[in-house]
Structure 1
């Protein structure tokens, strides 16, 4: 019997990785896919994923993540993905071949207030964490208006990690975050079309900067 896939996204500093790891552990058979790892697997020739020229690379990586996630879910493992996967990338999860047609997709956006997001992000100590305030702010703005997907947003501004996990777990269990086929094919507004996974909206990034967000 197949299981579900849960995409957990939002800006840097929103608590995606911590929440995803704990949520996955609540299921009897589960997998946690940390999306950043799939970029780290590129040994040479990688482009920072928030640069405009990274689009082709990011499309490839997202396709790999999708195949891994649905492969695990088709085998009965509830699969939680954490990473920056905006609505503009959901089309990768639109086509389902017969082998994974029964896999359901949940989509959750952790979105603290802008100031809280920046505070959390720039305070991270991991050596490869993205702590550039300009980049973090731009990425937050990309999740600031999700249109008909606003109902998938969880405001974690005042939440402790355990509360975020509880709220998310309850929402998944109640099927409040399920995506139908139409939602997976969200049309892009014109200002969203140019970039890749992160819309390529960073003006002057440090090209030697971190690859983990």
Structure 2
């Protein structure tokens, strides 16, 4: 059976972690990788990945290294992080070239629902205006519409099923699709 990497993305507070963890739990042999956890491994001198290309690259190198280790041990991998189209283009091609099936899903919700979800998070996890900033960054990122999945309404189990069964989330060779790396 073909190995898979699932990249569950979207703006802060849209349900990435909940969705990614549940997706990983439903697989026979899987690993869950949180980009946020990796980002916070640097304790002293930590730069924020959204403010520093160097910090973003370091998080990605660690996501890729961990993923490669799990893939080598026959695990499927679920990555949970705010992943923009340029990063997908930069960091996934080696998996595709190895015959690993890579899925990219941008979870999305109507703006008022998204803002409400953020407000219901614990106070220390709320993103406030960053929710709107990230929404706009995704909309201007160049990601094809096919990778967006509206989770404004609906059960989590139905979302998971759609993510698993819908071919539109599967990445193809970035060179063939006309994307630049």
Q: TM-score range by the shorter chain?
A: 0.7 to 0.9
State how far apart, in whole Å, the 1-side matches of 2:115 and 2:84 are: 18
Report if aligned partners of 1:117, 1:140 keep a CA contact under 8 Å in 2: no
CA RMSD between the two structures? 2.4
1:176 aligned residue? 168
1:56 aligned residue? 54
Q: Deviations over 1:146-176 (max 9, x none)?
A: 55621011101112323222221222xxx33
Matched, 1:166 2:157: no
Matched, 1:143 2:135: no
Evaluate the alpha carbon distance shift between residue 149 and residue 61 of structure 1 in structure 2; reply closer, same or farther with a 3 A threshold. Answer: same
Residues paired across the two proteins, number: 179
Unaligned runs of 5+ in 1: 189-213
Evaluate the alpha carbon distance shift between residue 126 and residue 66 of structure 1 in structure 2; reply closer, same or farther with a 3 A threshold. Answer: farther
Matched, 1:93 2:85: no
| Worse-superposed segment, 115-124 or 26-35 | 115-124
SS of 2:8's equivalent in the other structure is strand
Matched, 1:43 2:40: no
Matched, 1:69 2:61: no
State how far apart, in whole Å, the 1-side matches of 2:178 and 2:33 are: 22
State how far apart, in whole Å, the 2-side matches of 1:26 and 1:96 are: 22
Report if aligned partners of 1:70, 1:103 keep a CA contact under 8 Å in 2: no
Report if aligned partners of 1:111, 1:143 keep a CA contact under 8 Å in 2: no
1:24 aligned residue? 24
SS of 1:49's equivalent in the other structure is coil
Unaligned runs of 5+ in 2: none
Q: Deviations over 1:82-121 (max 9, x none)?
A: 1101102111222359xx8132211111011122111111
For normalisation by structure 2, the TM-score amounts to 0.87
